[in-house]
Homo-oligomer: A and B are copies of this chain.
Amino acid sequence: MDKVKTTTITFSDLADWEQRKRAQLINSLGGFKSVNLIGTVNNQNQTNLAIFNSVIHLGANPPLVAFIIRPDSVERHTLENILETGYYTINHINEGIYKKAHQTSARYPGEISEFDATGLTAEFKNDFLAPFVAESNVSFGVEFKERIDIALNGTTLMIGEIRLINFPENCLCEDGFLDIEKADSVTCSGLDSYHKTVRLSRLTYAKPDTEPTEMEMRYRE
């Protein structure tokens, strides 16, 4: 972009902002985010589906993933079901389902499954306990491992181990890289903005004495 004037906002400026406006700005700051549907079921076979934009990679060996739950009634069913059953699914959102995915954040009564309310399809497969989203192209099943409560603001970090992975067979590269752009996964920013992506490039592993170069995409045959 052309260089435009920079606005600088201090902590004390921010304190004067109206609460929802401040929430919009602060939610936009970290950068683009993953956006996923987390599927769960309780012991009475009631399914639940909720959208989260805080799923992060925690480590590859063991394969660990984490996400943040806020002390909020919409997300509480996800927390309760995970603690009750020990399992959940994480499902990428694509352009075809992002509006339905967003709609899962509405405050439906407890007896209504967001699958039914939004028209997304619960799919049980490979004997995994929690429901996958059939319309999702990339999804994985997770076994709950640890809950870390963050006293600073009452949020909870949920950590789990990846047990089962589903993706379109033409999206896997020879080196193990999964091309989630080819799988139509979307990203989000702030609280409510959804985006497709356009790859700039994959870059080679950085070494002190060489410039990184662009890698060719080599899909597994």
Contacts and interface: CB of A to CB of B under 8 A. Distances in A.
Q: Is the interface of A mostly helix, strand, loop or mixed?
A: mixed
A169 interface: yes
Nearest to A23: B60
Given A57-B33, A193-B202, A168 B1 contact: yes
Contact of A11 (B31, B32, B163): B163
A48 to B, nearest CB: 14
Nearest to A199: B195
Interface in A43-98: 53-65, 68, 70, 90, 92, 94-95, 98
Nearest to A109: B208
**How many monomers of this protein are in the complex?**
2
Contacts of A36: 30-31
A187 B193 CA distance: 14
Contact of A195 (B108, B157, B173, B197): B197
A54 B58 CA distance: 9
Contacts of A113: none
A183 interface: yes
B195 A198 contact: yes
Interface string A9-22: 11100100101111
Most chain B CB within 10 A, of A31, A36, A104, A199, is at A31
B208 A107 contact: yes
Interface in A134-156: 137-138, 140, 145-146, 148, 150, 152-153, 155
A199 B205 contact: no
Interface of A: 1, 4-11, 14, 17, 19-36, 53-65, 68, 70, 90, 92, 94-95, 98-99, 102-109, 117, 125-126, 137-138, 140, 145-146, 148, 150, 152-153, 155, 157, 159, 161-170, 172-173, 175-187, 189-208, 211-212, 215
